[in-house]
Amino acid sequence: MKVVTEQLPPLQIHHQGEAPTGAMVEIVELLLQQATLDGQIVFYPWARAYEVAQQQANTLIFSIMRTPAREHKFHWVAPLLADTVHLIRLKSRPELAISAIEQAKQFRIGVTRSDIAQFYLEEKGFTTEQNILLSSSYPRLWQSLFDRKVDYIMANEFMWRQKQTFEGETFQPIEVALSLDDFAQDYYLAASLNTSPIIISKLKKALEKIHQSGQYLAILQKWHLAD
């Protein structure tokens, strides 16, 4: 079977010529092992991963947020991680302080293409013609913020805290401009609609086992995603 994902440190990390790693990569690999399923994790830009997971049989995708608009497009195997989502700005730009999402319409917000963040903003009246800048990956998204091509980016707390920690002095100081409390916050492992029910059942049972054994929590703690 095929397993698709995107570059999203510290959940999914892939460097050319090296084996993929990251918290969710380790969990998904452990799930496949426990379920005695053969699957290769393939990294794509998010829009491509999302497309492949809808079109190909016996395909898994992670880490994907579950929303009403996506509900009928996948089998939702299991939640993997919960986190909060924010608008992030450079600390050196206090003029970008806001208290409501509507105030951000006069500025540009960076998001990854076909990500839930894009659809969230579009539902609130933002457009790619006026105030949304699309990037193909999270590294490019961060660079657009540092280069001031955008005023804000939408990012999960674990994502920007991890990036700040590991990049140290090369990371420009940032801060939360606005917490988006109405944004979907649970990351899932999902499967294409034409995935075998046997595979889905095996994965759900495997997840129960690694939760019960403590392996799941140990991986999150290793990556500083849980206490």
Domains along the chain with CATH numbers = 2-82+185-222 (3.40.190.10), 85-179 (3.40.190.10)
Q: What is the pLDDT of residue 132?
A: 97
This prediction's pTM? 0.77
Q: What is the spatial distance between Cα 141 and Cα 151, in angstroms, rounded to a whole number?
A: 11
Q: What is the spatial distance between Cα 145 and Cα 12, in angstroms, rounded to a whole number?
A: 21
pLDDT in tens, the chain (227 residues): 999 999 988 899 998 889 999 999 999 999 999 999 999 999 999 989 999 999 999 999 999 998 888 999 999 999 999 888 899 999 999 999 999 999 999 999 999 888 889 999 999 999 999 999 999 888 889 999 999 999 999 988 777 666 655 555 567 888 999 999 888 778 999 999 999 999 999 999 999 999 999 999 999 999 988 87
Establish whether the linkage from the previous residue to 63 is cis, with ω within 30° of 0: yes
Q: What is the 3-state secondary structure (H, E, C) of the chain?
A: CEEEECCECCCEECCCCCCCECHHHHHHHHHHHHCCCCCEEEECCHHHHHHHHHHCCCEEEEEEECCCCCHHHEEEEEEEEECCEEEEEECCCHHHCCCCHHHHHHCCEEEECCCHHHHHHHHCCCCCCCCEEEECCHHHHHHHHHCCCCCEEEEEHHHHHHHHHHHHHHCCCEEEEEECCCCCCEEEEEEECCCCHHHHHHHHHHHHHHHHHCHHHHHHHHCCCCC
Q: What is the pLDDT of residue 38?
A: 95
Q: What is the pLDDT of residue 35?
A: 97
